[in-house]
């Protein structure tokens, strides 16, 4: 039995020895670790600030009638784009047209009375000049003319008010936008002063459209400086940051900082011609406040996090690696601008970090022995 275990031991030992020999290179060194590498490059890097934004219509209004009446017809298709001034709905105008006609008729009667009173005033004035009429009669007639003239002005105001009510029976689009779902059906009697009235339809201006997002208060000087130089660029990205939905410009900064969060709200505007932005949508907003020119850059994937800070694995001429601590001026998620730690012409590890340690032998496409 002991001889059997002895043979098994030597067999396992021989297998391990063979495996160790296989793991050595012909020169006797440990097998190199395959990696991919990158070299620092010089480029202009935009300085970006990012915040979670909410899309909102530039203007949004629910159309309510300004006079009472029966909704005669609806002239829009739900969910379509409309132009400012388009007729969207019509209330029954007949009651208000009747009041307008009455006001016009009264104005005609008062105008005729005024014309007659003026002719009488002329006659009385001539008679009084020849001592055939009393001056009191002239003065009375002049007062009547003034009274009828005031009545005509009152008629003009009544006509304008009646015409306005007739116009109010036409519900038009206040601006270019998109109509939502219909809130009232034809045949409904709608009261203008009814607080429970849902309105007729909502119109939202979504071309252009706005995005509001918050940024830390310590970024306010950089934002203000960027605005002083023009209109800073803003991009609206998808929630996973994999796609840019729209490009726009910064519109304004809020007039106060939120003391509870230490953030400042900013608002950007987007043309939104392809309608990729929609009211209520959440987006990742990126605001460009500056550009770092001719910066030494590396792909962000090359930057590693260690207990002592950020570092990269630097490849030496003998194809071994060493750790180089780096200072990152900015990192936009794909490119990192390096202010200290690497130089032009250095070779750093881009992928394959998990098996590396200082002094490890590596190989990569284009290296000696690869």
**Mean pLDDT for the stretch of residues 346-357:** 91
Averaged pLDDT for residues 227-238: 94
**Cα(53)–Cα(237) distance, rounded to whole angstroms?**
10
Is residue 220 within 8 A of residue 253, CB to CB? The reply is yes
The region of weakest confidence among 19-33, 81-95, 97-111, 166-180 is 19-33
> Has residue 179 got a pLDDT over 80?
yes
Give me the pLDDT at residue 94, please: 96
CATH class of 23-39+303-363: mainly beta
Q: Which residues have C-beta within 8 Å of that of residue 105, sequence separation ≥ 6?
A: none
pLDDT for position 199: 93
Confidence of residue 369 (pLDDT cuts 50, 70, 90): low
Residue 12, pLDDT > 80, answer no
Band of pLDDT at residue 368, cut at 50, 70 and 90 = low
Dist CA 175 CA 167 (whole Å) = 17
Checking if the pLDDT of 15 tops 50, the result is no
Q: Do domains 48-57+205-291 and 94-168 have the same CATH topology?
A: no
pLDDT digit string, tens, across residues 256-270:
999 999 999 999 999
Per-residue confidence (pLDDT) for residue 123, from 0 to 100: 86
Answer whether residue 327 shows pLDDT above 60.
Answer: yes
pLDDT tens readout for residues 102-141? 999 999 999 999 999 999 888 888 888 887 778 888 888 8
Which DSSP state fits 30? B
Lowest mean pLDDT among 208-222, 303-317, 328-342: 328-342
* Average pLDDT score over residue span 172-183: 95
Task: Give yes or no for residue 28 having a pLDDT over 90.
Answer: no
pLDDT for residue 193: 86
Class of domain 60-90+173-203: mainly beta
* Helix/strand/coil percentages in the chain, nearest 5: 30, 40, 30
Q: Give the C-alpha separation, 356 to 367, whole Å.
A: 17
The predicted pLDDT at position 240 comes to 85
Peptide bond into 28 cis (omega under 30): no
Q: Provide the CATH number for the domain formed by 94-168 in this structure.
A: 1.10.287
CATH class given for the domain over 48-57+205-291: mainly beta
Characterize 140-165 residue by residue with b for buried, 16 or more Cβ atoms within 10 angstroms of its Cβ, and e for exposed: ebeebbeebeebeeebeebbeebbeb
- Which region among 14-23, 152-161, 179-188, 242-251 has the lowest average model confidence (pLDDT)? 14-23
Give residue-wise pLDDT tens across range 289-302: 988 889 999 999 99
pLDDT of residue 30: 55
**Whole-model pTM?**
0.70
Q: What is the mean pLDDT of residues 273-290?
A: 94
Residue 69 and residue 186 in contact, taking contact as beta carbons nearer than 8 Å: no
State how far the Cα of 13 lies from the Cα of 271, in Å rounded to an integer.
73
């Amino acid at each position: 039995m002991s001889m059997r275990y002895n043979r098994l031991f030597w067999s396992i030992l021989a297998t391990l020895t063979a495996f160790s020999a296989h793991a050595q290179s012909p020169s006797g060194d440990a097998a190199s670790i395959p990696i991919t590498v990158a070299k620092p490059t010089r480029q202009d890097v935009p300085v970006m600030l990012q915040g979670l934004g909410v899309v909102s219509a530039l203007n949004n209004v629910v159309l309510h009638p300004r006079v009472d009446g029966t909704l005669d017809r609806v002239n829009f298709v739900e969910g379509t784009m409309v132009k400012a001034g388009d007729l969207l709905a019509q209330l029954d105008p007949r009651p208000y047209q009747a009041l307008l006609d009455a006001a016009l008729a009264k104005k005609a009667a008062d105008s005729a009375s005024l014309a007659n009173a003026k002719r009488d005033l002329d006659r009385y004035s001539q008679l009084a000049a020849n001592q055939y009429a009393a001056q009191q009669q002239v003065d009375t007639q002049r007062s009547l003319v003034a009274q009828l003239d005031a009545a005509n002005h009152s008629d003009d105001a009544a006509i304008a008010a009646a015409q306005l009510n007739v116009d109010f029976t036409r519900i038009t689009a206040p601006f270019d936008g998109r109509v939502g779902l219909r809130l009232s059906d034809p045949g409904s009697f709608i009261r203008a002063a009814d607080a429970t009235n849902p309105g007729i339809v909502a119109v939202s201006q979504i071309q252009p459209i706005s995005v509001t997002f918050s940024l830390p208060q310590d970024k306010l000087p950089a934002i203000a400086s960027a605005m002083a130089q023009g209109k800073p660029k803003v991009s609206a990205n998808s929630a996973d940051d994999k796609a840019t939905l729209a490009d726009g410009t910064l519109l304004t900064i809020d007039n106060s900082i939120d003391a509870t969060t230490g953030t400042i709200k900013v608002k950007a505007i987007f043309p939104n011609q392809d309608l990729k932005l929609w009211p209520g949508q959440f987006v990742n907003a990126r605001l460009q406040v500056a550009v770092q020119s001719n910066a030494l850059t590396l792909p962000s994937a090359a930057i590693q996090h260690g207990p002592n800070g950020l570092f990269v694995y630097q490849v030496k001429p003998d194809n071994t690696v060493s750790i180089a601590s780096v200072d990152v001026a900015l990192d936009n998620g794909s490119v990192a601008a390096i202010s200290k730690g690497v130089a032009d012409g250095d070779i750093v590890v881009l992928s394959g970090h998990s098996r590396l340690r200082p002094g490890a032998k590596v190989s990569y496409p284009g290296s000696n022995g690869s």
